[in-house]
């Protein structure tokens, strides 16, 4: 693990536990087994550490790679892959999301830093849907609205299962909820409005 990565991982864990103000650069450096001077050579201040961590561990890079290299232009399989990958990345980087929720209004510029990631994912989904329409595989629709509904449904499931014990609401597995969500979008976007049951 590089020095950058060690610092970022420790910072995310510490800020998630202690808050942005509570976690000091001295504590972060000690936990990362580097000197504070070394930390400042890599990152000029604590805000820059947080910004770098969000860019590194949020989902934009991995999702962009998925859209560029892994799509197979099958609506059911592609939407399942997008949704499952989204949840996998979000769960892996839960502390980054926790910090964004807790500190978004306390750290200047943080919300803008965080929100660029869902905006980028929204644009990737829109472009995918537009291309699917050009290939005559889905009907005309408001693709921005469709993309936002897909994102909000995915985000809501993540928040519910990660932070508010959503499993108490339903005994349905996360996998079943994701498949059911994808089924809704297939029904909405396929020419006859009917999709085969997802297995």
Query: The CATH number of the domain where 23 resides is what?
Result: 1.10.10.60
Q: Are residues 141 and 176 in the same domain?
A: yes
The vertex-106 CA angle with 25 and 64, nearest 5°, equals 80
pLDDT given for residue 171 in this prediction: 84
Q: Are residues 65 and 45 in the same domain?
A: no
Single out the residue of 99, 103, 94 nearest to residue 161, CA to CA.
94
Instruction: Provide the domain limits for residue 139.
Output: 58-189
Minimum mean pLDDT range among 44-58, 147-161, 174-188: 44-58
Please say whether the beta carbons of 126 and 144 come within 8 A: yes
DSSP, collapsed to helix, strand or coil, labels residue 109 as coil
Residue 30 half-sphere exposure, CB side, CA atoms within 13 Å?
A: 6
68 falls within a domain: yes
**3-state percent helix, strand, coil for the chain, nearest multiple of 5:** 75, 0, 25
Q: Are residues 112 and 19 in the same domain?
A: no
DSSP, collapsed to helix, strand or coil, labels residue 23 as coil
Average the pLDDT over 124-135 and give the result. Answer: 96
pLDDT given for residue 177 in this prediction: 93
Minimum mean pLDDT range among 168-172, 186-190, 194-198: 194-198
| pLDDT level of residue 101 (50, 70, 90 thresholds) | confident
Hey, what are 55's tokens?
């860019």
pTM of the model: 0.84
Q: Which residue has the tokens 């050009």?
A: 134
35 falls within a domain: yes
Please say whether the beta carbons of 187 and 173 come within 8 A: no
Q: Are residues 88 and 163 in the same domain?
A: yes
Q: Are residues 62 and 22 in the same domain?
A: no
Non-local CB neighbours of 185 within 8 Å, separated by 6+ positions: 75, 79, 146, 149, 150
């Amino acid at each position: 693990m590089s020095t950058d990565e060690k610092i970022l991982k420790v910072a995310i864990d510490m800020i998630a536990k202690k808050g942005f103000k509570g976690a000091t650069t001295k504590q972060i450096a000690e936990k990362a087994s580097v000197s504070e001077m070394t930390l400042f050579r890599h990152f000029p201040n604590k805000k820059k550490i947080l910004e770098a961590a969000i860019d590194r561990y949020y989902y934009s890079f991995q999702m962009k790679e998925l859209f560029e290299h892994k799509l197979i232009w099958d609506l059911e399989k592609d939407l399942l892959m997008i949704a499952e990958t989204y949840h996998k990345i979000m769960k892996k980087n839960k502390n980054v999301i926790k910090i964004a929720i807790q500190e978004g209004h306390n750290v200047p510029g943080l919300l803008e830093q965080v929100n660029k990631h869902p905006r980028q994912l929204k644009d990737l989904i829109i472009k995918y849907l537009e291309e699917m329409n050009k290939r005559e595989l889905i009907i005309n629709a408001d693709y921005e609205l469709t993309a936002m509904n897909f994102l909000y449904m995915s985000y809501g499931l993540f928040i519910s299962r990660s932070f508010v014990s959503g499993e108490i609401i339903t005994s349905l597995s996360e996998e079943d909820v994701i498949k059911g969500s994808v089924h809704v979008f297939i029904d909405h976007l396929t020419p006859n409005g009917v999709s085969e049951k997802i297995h």
